[in-house]
Structure 1
Amino acid sequence: MSIRLVKKVALLLLLSFIISGFPAPSSEAIPVTGKGSVLISKQQNKLNKKRLTMSQLIRKYPETIKTGGPRIKSVALTFDDVPDPRFTPQLLDVLRRNHVRATFFVVGSRAKKHPELVARMVREGHIIGNHSYNHPQFRKLRMKEFKVQILRTENIIQNIAGYKPKLIRPPYGEITEQQLKWAKSQGYKVVNWNVDSQDWKGLPKGEVKANILSTAGKGAIILQHGGGGQGSHLEGSIQALPEVIAKMRQRGYTFVTVPQLLHVSKSK
């Protein structure tokens, strides 16, 4: 249907409303014409305006949500979606050989299946953070469901590591303001990143290495993964890691854990 024909039909409908004595529809209810047009109510627009973006949340709650540390020549390696028996042991081997301590964000359901890997992380001096129970999108959860994700994982970690982690990393790096306020009230720190390896895409070693080294600077929090879903490939990330460590050290950087970088406790 052409735009001209749509306009004619709209005009006829308007005239019929006037003739019949009914009030004409308000401009809020008249859809925009043209390809891909969508009818959006004012109420929905108001809701969208109230929902803060991640960048807005970071500016509003700088003491609770962190994407990097002080501008010093230290960086923190972080690994999400652990433990995973396919990849996590290999990462731990690389870190041990290079005398680097990192921060691992643990998925509760995986820790429950592979407690020995979490125990190894702790034994080798790494820090454990909370990465939810089964990796949902927090923005789609009700508050009760969100709290269950955090507290259930926290209890599992405490039973293995001996402490309740202070650090939370939201899956996909997303969290709502209400959830963030609760985390703040409970003494948590929400930790995202400012260097993304994009290793979850199954990239080869060279691309993972370039993604990290091209953006890693003072106080960087580097995102990599130590686990994934079925069919995931993290070999490139594992192979890139020793070269990333060597190159950053050549540049004069030291590797620290997230609590060391942010000067916070590892536990609540």
Structure 2
Amino acid sequence: MRRHPQIIKTVLILLFTLFLNSVGWTASVDAGTSTVEETIHIKQSSKPASKDETSSPSSLSLGELRRKYKQTFKFKGPHVKQVALTFDDVPDPRFTPQVLQVLRSKGVKATFFIVGNRAVKHPDLVRQINNEGHALGNHSYSHPVLKKMKLEQFMQEILKTEDIIYRLTGKRPKIIRPPYGEVNEEEVKWAKDHHYMIVNWNVDSLDWKGLDQEKVKKNVLSEVGPGAIVLQHAGGGTGSDLTGTIKALPQIIDQLRSEGYTFVTVPELLGIPSLRVDTGVDGP
């Protein structure tokens, strides 16, 4: 009978030991699970952002940006019987000289938006555009989607092209046309603070698609109204065909003149200086 307390004591010790092992094992599993979950959480929160996440400081649409920055972001002029013809992606020796020849023969001044890396390759064409009295605009250096870029990259695209244009013509254009018309709020703010104006369009010829003469003509004439800013191209990528633009251009000019329109540059249409007042290269 004396052995019973000893047996009971032994049993209790064994049970207690088993209990401790059970608690320790459970804690170990819980700790391991916590570590795994924490690791997953860290990986998710520190993954590289997508391009849209990196480069979308503002979720405002282009329409909202135009309304918010009315004096900086334009896409058309006042309701007057004037039209501004604009030509993007210049200079291009395949098409720019032909467009210039048509404008010269018709006595029309237009606005050309210059791509910096093309200006480096074809400086004489930039000088010709300027010497023939057309307005100059900045169309970036490498034709990227600017709204997806960081502000510093955006600035480099604009300022590098501005310096090239200045070296070739002695001018620093006030107007910027972002490639594809895409820009974000941070970039518009910078443009405003540094005395630029963002200029898109309200009539699109869609000539970059390689459309024929009649389609280009229809796209323009069906949409033109007082104060229109017309988008066309006098340059393109490999394989581009702007024959339709070149053939349609004199007919577009003649038709609009017959309707009482006069042709002006973008700065003339908007009543703004063609050059920036502040020619310093400032930071953001």
TM bucket normalised to smaller: 0.7 to 0.9
* Residue in structure 2 matched with residue 25 of structure 1 by the alignment: none
Task: State the Cα distance separating 1:133 from its structure 2 match.
Answer: 0.1
1:110: Cα distance to partner?
Answer: 0.4
**Structure 1 pair 51–206 and aligned structure 2 pair: CA distance change class (3 A):** same
CA 1:250/1:109 → structure 2, altered by over 3 Å: closer, same or farther?
same
Give the match for residue 162 of structure 1. 170
Match of 1:112 among 116, 120, 124: 120
Contact 2:58 2:186 in 1 (8 A): no
Q: What CA distance in whole angstroms lies between the structure 1 residues aligned with 2:78 and 2:60?
A: 25
- Between the aligned partners of 1:72 and 1:140, the Cα distance in structure 2 is 35
Q: Is the 8 A contact 2:58 2:185 kept in 1?
A: no
Match of 2:4 in 1: none
TM-score, normalising length: structure 1: 0.82
Instruction: Tell me, in whole angstroms, the C-alpha distance in 1 between the residues paired with 2:214 and 2:234.
Output: 18
1:2-50, CA deviations, whole angstroms, 9 ceiling, x for partnerless residues? xxxxxxxxxxxxxxxxxx9x9xxxxxxxxxxxxxxxxxxxxx99x9895
2:180 alignment counterpart? 172
Partner of 2:61: 53
Distance 2:139 2:124 in 1: 18
Matches within 5 A, 1:45-194: 51-194=59-202
Q: Deviations over 1:115-146 (max 9, x none)?
A: 10011111110011000001000011111110
Q: Deviation per CA, 1:208-237, whole angstroms, max 9, x where unpaired?
A: 000000000100000000100000010001
Q: What residue ranges of structure 1 are gaps of 5+ in the alignment?
A: 1-19, 23-43
> Is the partner of 1:75 in helix, strand or coil?
strand
AA partner of residue 152 (structure 1): K
Of structures 1 and 2, the larger Rg is shown by 2
The separation in 1 between residues aligned to 2:151 and 2:165, in whole angstroms, is 21
The yes-or-no answer on 1:247 pairing with 2:255 is: yes
Counterpart CA distance in 1 for 2:67 and 2:199 is 14
Question: What is the rounded CA distance, in whole Å, between the counterparts of 2:197 and 2:122 in structure 1?
Answer: 25
Q: Which residue type is aligned with residue 152 of structure 2? A: K
Q: Secondary structure at the match of 1:68?
A: coil
Q: Which amino acid aligns with 1:155?
A: D
What is the identity, as a one-letter code, of the residue corresponding to 1:63? Q
2:239 to 209, 218, 231: 231
For residues 159-218 of structure 1, what are the alpha-carbon distances to aligned partners after superposition, in whole Å with 9 as ceiling and x for unaligned? 111110100000000101001000000000100000000000000000000000000010
CA RMSD in angstroms, aligned pairs only = 2.0
Structure 2 residue aligned with 1:202: 210
For 2:118 and 2:132, the matched residues in 1 are separated by 19
- Whole-Å Cα distance in 2 between the matches of residues 49 and 179 of structure 1? 9
Q: Within 1, Cα distance between the matches of 2:58 and 2:223?
A: 32
Distance 1:76 1:50, change over 3 A: closer
Q: Percent identity?
A: 55
Match of 2:222 in 1: 214
Equivalent residue for 1:31? Answer: none
The 3-state SS of whatever aligns with 1:77 is strand
CA contact (8 A) 2:57 2:185 kept: no
